[in-house]
Structure 1
Amino acid sequence: MEEYVGSGGLLSRTHGRRRCVRATRVAQSEIQDSKFMKAAVLHKPGAPLAVEDVDDPQPGPGEILINVKACGVCHTDLHLAAGEWRLPKLPLIMGHEAVGTVEAVGAGVASFKAGDRAGVPWIYSTCGACEYCTSEREPLCPSIAVTGFMVDGGYAEYVKAAASHAIAVPPELDFVDAAPLYCAGLTPYRALKASGARVGETVAVWGVGGLGHYAVQIARACGARVVAVDIQSSKLDLARELGADVT
């Protein structure tokens, strides 16, 4: 799978059909004052999100500001909203599958410019130097910051992202199709990459759900023979439609 290593390969080759995408478009604010934006804010676990005016985020050094066009709804967000995870901050703007156009860049950013298409994933930033970061185990970094959990996320008109971890969105990919790839797509992609599976080898996907249907597409795009396993016939039908060789 070496020829597909890298987020660009994932985003340009594995987007799912629209009916498989769990994303919602963010409404544009009618507020004229540029100091504020609309955001869906969690103030208390178990309470409905409140759509309200909040301060516009400003990109600091090494950060970019994204004008959000779409943001996926991950099941993790439901756990957070229900209070099933301990929240490190409240109020909180959730959403870690946010994509859009770059509005501004902070000092020192050379990888993005205003007008670029970009998105922010679950991992907002890491130290980049610890034993985990240097061995492709960034989720274990002691200094990790998580989008929509430890820092405000994409249920808003604008979201900040660390340029080091933001990922470009290819021009041919619709924002709504792109959004879920930043978590639901990246997760099986990383698993396939870590497995060491190579072109022509067989990959089994257990469960053709939110992540599994992406795993089928990614493995197929990488040249693997795909076996899809599920107890629901409708999921197996979907797997075959997405390219599974055996169900």
Structure 2
Amino acid sequence: MTVKAYAVHQAKGAFEPFEFELGEIGANEVDISVESCGICHSDLSMVDDEWGMTAFPLVPGHEVIGTVSAIGEHVSHVKVGDRVGLGWHAGYCMVCDQCMGGDHNLCVDAQPTIAGRHGGFAETVRAAAPSVIKIPDGLDAHETGPLLCGGIAVFNPMVQVGLTPTDSVGVIGIGGLGHMGLKFANAWGCHVTAFTSESKRQEALDMGAHETINSRDPEAIKAAAGRFDLVLSTVNVPLDWNAILATLKPRGRLQMPGAVTDSLGINLLPDMMFKQLSVGAMPVGAPVVIRRMLDFAARHEIAPVNEHFPMSKVNDAFEHLRGGNARYRIVLHRD
């Protein structure tokens, strides 16, 4: 089968129409006829080869929504015509301790959707069946794609740390990840505080924050000492992490779905040791957690705030993202 797609052929290159061949479908594989695909900052990182793992030509796209067009003979949890989603992972080994224990996202042989294979900026994308998730009826297919990477990046830490409805949660950075963190934490029942600029204060309140802290005011951050059970940092720039740690309660946790590449420069004393604090990061969730997230989103009518482009305007969409103008996620739709 010949598949039409959009690909870049060199780092930081422009997207061009591209065709590739899909061979016979495997017994445990699913073909998805793409309806829409979110653009994640990870797609931009892969296009620019920031992580040194990009193979060109690259067809990005790992926030895929579409309908099942074909299934292998051993696939039983979805059928042709079902609306499904595909996120960062397109397959797992299924036999390691992590997979057998339900932690597929920690599988060392997990297969990224856009590394070593072609992603969702295409007519059709193929993936191993366990990574294909059925979309609940209550979710709008045109808006749901960004939940499959950006959404699960903030939802998974809430699950893994055992967040309770009586907890106080701070969210740093109200952008593509952070705005979904506000919505999820609010629906969870938590008291939610947004660390953001004054220009985004009202937006943060509208999206679920009960109050805000000016993230550019060191004195305002200092005044929040000992307030939070969990702080989610969704930014990818260095901050005064010791000041952020000081805002945590004893046994508080700083989780970092934002991919900061610089050294954190964290001091063990006094807060880390004496307050028994923890700092962590984790990948996107396992399929079972993605399913729970989608059910949670459907129950609480949670959707990302998206901007929409036709897939033929993918270059315009990426320039919009590069310019820092996305509010707050971008979704491409098949023309």
The answer, yes or no, to whether TM exceeds 0.5 is yes
Q: Which of 154, 162, 166 is equivalent to 1:200?
A: 166
Cα contact 1:88–1:149 (8 A) shared by 2: yes
Q: 1:57: Cα distance to partner?
A: 5.8
Where does residue 26 of structure 2 map in the other structure?
60
Q: Which of 151, 159, 177 is equivalent to 1:211?
A: 177
Structural mapping, 1:1-247, within 5 Å: 35-56=1-22, 58-87=24-53, 89-134=55-100, 137-230=103-196, 232-247=197-212
Amino acid of the residue matched to residue 209 of structure 2?
A: A
Report the TM-score when normalising by structure 1: 0.79
Cα contact 1:71–1:95 (8 A) shared by 2: yes
Q: 1:189: Cα distance to partner?
A: 0.5
Shift in alpha-carbon separation, 1:136–1:226, aligned structure 2, 3 A = farther
Cα contact 2:47–2:58 (8 A) shared by 1: no
Amino acid of the residue matched to residue 175 of structure 1?
A: A
Q: 1:52: Cα distance to partner?
A: 2.5
Q: What is the CA–CA distance in structure 2 between the aligned matches of 1:130 and 1:75, rounded to whole Å? A: 29
Q: 1:79: Cα distance to partner?
A: 1.3
Q: What is the CA–CA distance in structure 2 between the aligned matches of 1:138 and 1:237, rounded to whole Å? A: 38
Secondary structure of 1:87's partner?
A: coil
For structure 2, the 5+ residue unaligned runs are 213-335
Q: 1:41: Cα distance to partner?
A: 1.5
Residues 125-161 of structure 1: per-residue CA shift (max 9 Å, x gap): 2223434435665444221100112321101011012
Cα contact 2:31–2:71 (8 A) shared by 1: yes
Identity %: 35
Amino acid of the residue matched to residue 112 of structure 2?
A: V
Secondary structure of 1:133's partner?
A: helix
Cα contact 1:40–1:51 (8 A) shared by 2: yes
Equivalences, count:
212
Residues 189-222 of structure 1: per-residue CA shift (max 9 Å, x gap): 0011112111222111111111010011111122
For structure 1, the 5+ residue unaligned runs are 1-34
Amino acid of the residue matched to residue 172 of structure 2?
A: W
Report the TM-score when normalising by structure 2: 0.59
Secondary structure of 1:61's partner?
A: coil
**Comparing 149-158 with 80-89, which one deviates more in the overlay?**
80-89
Amino acid of the residue matched to residue 66 of structure 1?
A: I
Q: Over aligned residue pairs, what C-alpha RMSD do you find?
A: 1.9
Where does residue 302 of structure 2 map in the other structure?
none
Cα contact 2:60–2:119 (8 A) shared by 1: yes
Amino acid of the residue matched to residue 85 of structure 1?
A: W
Cα contact 2:165–2:190 (8 A) shared by 1: yes
Cα contact 2:166–2:189 (8 A) shared by 1: yes
Shift in alpha-carbon separation, 1:115–1:239, aligned structure 2, 3 A = same
Higher RCO, 1 vs 2 (CA within 8 Å, ≥6 residues apart): 1
Q: 1:174: Cα distance to partner?
A: 2.1
Residues 88-120 of structure 1: per-residue CA shift (max 9 Å, x gap): 533221111111111111120000001101011
Residues 66-94 of structure 1: per-residue CA shift (max 9 Å, x gap): 11011011111111111222235332211
Q: 1:37: Cα distance to partner?
A: 2.7
Q: What is the CA–CA distance in structure 2 between the aligned matches of 1:58 and 1:205, rounded to whole Å? A: 45
**Comparing 67-76 with 193-202, which one deviates more in the overlay?**
193-202
Amino acid of the residue matched to residue 104 of structure 1?
A: A
Amino acid of the residue matched to residue 157 of structure 1?
A: E
Shift in alpha-carbon separation, 1:57–1:96, aligned structure 2, 3 A = farther
